[in-house]
Amino acid sequence: MKFLFSDSENCQRCPKHEWPNEGKNTCVVRNSEFLSYETDVLALVFSTISILLSLITVFIIGILTLFWKSPIVRANNRTLSFILLSSLMFSLLCVFLFIGRPVDITCMLRQTFIGIFFTVVVSSVLAKTMIVCIAFKATRPNNPWRKCVGVKLPYSVVLVCSSIQIVNAVIWLLVAPPYQENNLDYPGKILIQCNEGYVLYFYLMLGYMGFLAALSFVLAFMVRTLPDIYNEAKYITFSMLVFSSVWICAIPAYLSSTGKHMVIVEIFAILSSGGGILSCMFLPKCYRIVQPLINA
């Protein structure tokens, strides 16, 4: 951008990190823009919600531990529930990687961590759904589905599904990792943001999570009406519906945004989808566990 001195007919170009003032007679420093606690109240709101949801997750883990031998907890694979809740808590805490001035290391960690932790969450939900489907398919003695019932099946599903996302993240970081960049295309300000590097890996990460969530939703929807007091297929169906809906709505908004607005959209998607899983899948279960104590 050029400016014109009041006593000169020659224009001089401002440095990259400066911008002409209103009178076009001098250069002023551009304002840096990123999501921060000093200038954005949303940063504090998101941090508070993240901590609150993480504490709720810890509370749910405590309830499940306290009632470790109850029929509801035992019927829904206790260890798998702990893996799911732990990964979900780490996903919610990843919000803090998005707040503050971006640097190369946070740009690399924020997307890969979200992709891996949420994949573990959705893989655990998929494993739970498969257990429910197989359990109802294997009621007959000679049914071939009975061979699939075993302790190792759910953990194998989580391990294989999560490993695929981890491999994608490692290749992404080795080939073209995200990095911090200064966007100078906007008048009077510098957008300090993360460039996703080779964006194909970012789309692969989101697409793979969406595929696992859709598969879990379809399987859970198929067995949602089966008459069993401990059948959690209904909760899985609603939680995956919320999870998928949030990210489907967030992706177009994310791609059409820039700077800190992209960060706000992604944080909202993280908190909304994580809160949806907690609300739809675990809070009803915890209420049923403690209901006899409330009524006593």
Decide: helix, strand or coil at residue 164.
helix
Q: Which two tokens stand for residue 235?
A: 């909760």
For tokens 């990190």, what's the residue? Answer: 17
Spatial separation of the C-alpha atoms in residues 119 and 113, rounded to whole Å: 10
Q: What percent of the chain has a predicted confidence (pLDDT) above 90?
A: 40
For 84-111, write each residue's pLDDT tens digit: 999 999 999 999 999 999 999 999 999 9
Contact 72, 231 (CB under 8 A): no
- Average pLDDT of the residues of the chain: 84
Spatial separation of the C-alpha atoms in residues 36 and 49, rounded to whole Å: 16
For 176-213, write each residue's pLDDT tens digit: 899 999 888 777 788 888 988 888 888 899 899 989 98
Q: What is the pTM of this model?
A: 0.87
For 138-178, write each residue's pLDDT tens digit: 555 565 555 555 557 788 889 999 999 999 999 999 998 99
pLDDT at position 228 over 60: no
Spatial separation of the C-alpha atoms in residues 72 and 289, rounded to whole Å: 7
pLDDT at position 54 over 90: yes
Contact 58, 89 (CB under 8 A): yes
For 231-249, write each residue's pLDDT tens digit: 677 888 888 889 989 999 9
* Residue 177 CB partners (closer than 8 Å, separation 6+): 104, 107, 108, 197
> Could you give the domains of the chain?
41-180+196-295 (1.20.1070.10)
